Amino acid sequence: MTITIYHNPDCGTSRNTLAMIRQSGEEPEIIEYLKNPPSREKLGELIGQMGMTPRKLLRENGTPYAELDLGNPKWTDDQLIDFMLEHPILINRPIVVTPLGVVLARPSEAVFSILPNPDIGPFTKEDGDVVIDTQGRRVA
């Protein structure tokens, strides 16, 4: 089974999502999208598969979002995609693709909805937040 994660190793949410995928028994294809951004066609496809607009995929914190005035409604979807391709840090992450669907895993627990094996056992995020306790109950 092929699982792909568009990953930023500097992002805690992305690292937690990757750990959840691995704990589910899968080793995903990891695309560090800051080094290898998706093509225009692929980014458009991912946005469509997630059922969202390019604006919803924009990341604000730690990006040139404000200086580019991307909150301004004047920008078209195509223009927003252009900005994301020019500045990949604007692409919110992580995006996870499995045979069951595509999600923006924010929060990281969103990945459970498309994991072939979502019963990953006890899991605690790097910050200490318990997601699944030792009894197998989802806490978060």
Q: Is 11 in the active site?
A: yes
Rg (CA), the chain: 16
Round to whole Å and give the CA distance between 31 and 94.
10
SS3 state at 45? helix
Q: Where are the beta strands (DSSP E) in the chain?
A: 4-7, 29-32, 95-98, 101-104, 123-124, 130-132
Round to whole Å and give the CA distance between 15 and 89.
16
Tokens of 18: 């990757």
95-130-19-136 Cα dihedral, nearest 10 degrees: -100
Q: Which of 3, 5, 6, 11 is catalytic?
A: 11
Query: Hey, which residues are catalytic here?
Result: 11
